[in-house]
Structure 1
Amino acid sequence: MKPLFTATATATGGRNGYFKASDGLVGTNLSVPKEMGGPGKPGTTTPEHLFAAGYAACFGGALDLVAKQHKLDASTAKVTCAVSIGPREGGGFGLAVRMSVADRSLPQAKLAILVREAHEKICPYSHATRGNVDVKFDVIGA
Structure 2
Amino acid sequence: MKVLYTASATATGDGRDGSARSDDGKLVVDLASPVEMGGDGNGTNPEQLFAAGYAACFHSALRIVARRAKADVTGSVVSAEVDLGAVGDGAFGIGVRLEISLPQLGAQEAKELVDAAHLVCPYSNATRGNVDVQLTLAPTEVAA
TM-score range, shorter chain: over 0.9
Query: In structure 2, how many angstroms separate the alpha carbons of the residues matched to 1:75 and 1:105?
Result: 7
Superposed, which structure 2 residues align to 1:113-124 within 5 Å? 113-119=112-118, 121-124=119-122
**Equivalent residue for 2:108?**
109
Establish whether residue 48 from structure 1 lines up as the match of residue 47 from structure 2: yes
Deviations 1:54-99 (A, max 9, x none): 1000100100111111111325310000011010134311000010
When the two structures are aligned, how many residues end up with a matched partner?
A: 139
Give the fraction of aligned pairs with identical amino acids, expressed as a percent.
47
Q: Which runs of 5+ in 1 are unaligned?
A: none
Cα RMSD after superposing both structures: 1.2
Q: 8 Å contact 2:10–2:22 — kept in the other structure?
A: yes
After superposition, the Cα gap between the structure-2 partners of 1:77 and 1:104, relative to the gap in structure 1 and judged at 3 Å, is: same
Establish whether residue 17 from structure 1 lines up as the match of residue 18 from structure 2: yes
After superposition, the Cα gap between the structure-2 partners of 1:11 and 1:75, relative to the gap in structure 1 and judged at 3 Å, is: farther
Runs of 4+ in 1 over 6 A off after TM superposition: none
Q: Which runs of 5+ in 2 are unaligned?
A: none
**Equivalent residue for 1:61?**
60
Query: In structure 1, how many angstroms separate the alpha carbons of the residues matched to 2:50 and 2:75?
Result: 21
Establish whether residue 137 from structure 1 lines up as the match of residue 135 from structure 2: yes
Query: In structure 1, how many angstroms separate the alpha carbons of the residues matched to 2:4 and 2:74?
Result: 22
Query: In structure 2, how many angstroms separate the alpha carbons of the residues matched to 1:103 and 1:29?
Result: 34
Q: 8 Å contact 1:67–1:114 — kept in the other structure?
A: yes
Q: 8 Å contact 1:108–1:140 — kept in the other structure?
A: no
Please, what TM-score do these two structures have when normalized by structure 1?
A: 0.93
**Equivalent residue for 1:32?**
33
Q: 8 Å contact 1:107–1:141 — kept in the other structure?
A: no
Q: Specify the SS of the correspondent of 1:88.
A: strand
106-115 or 83-92, which deviates more: 83-92
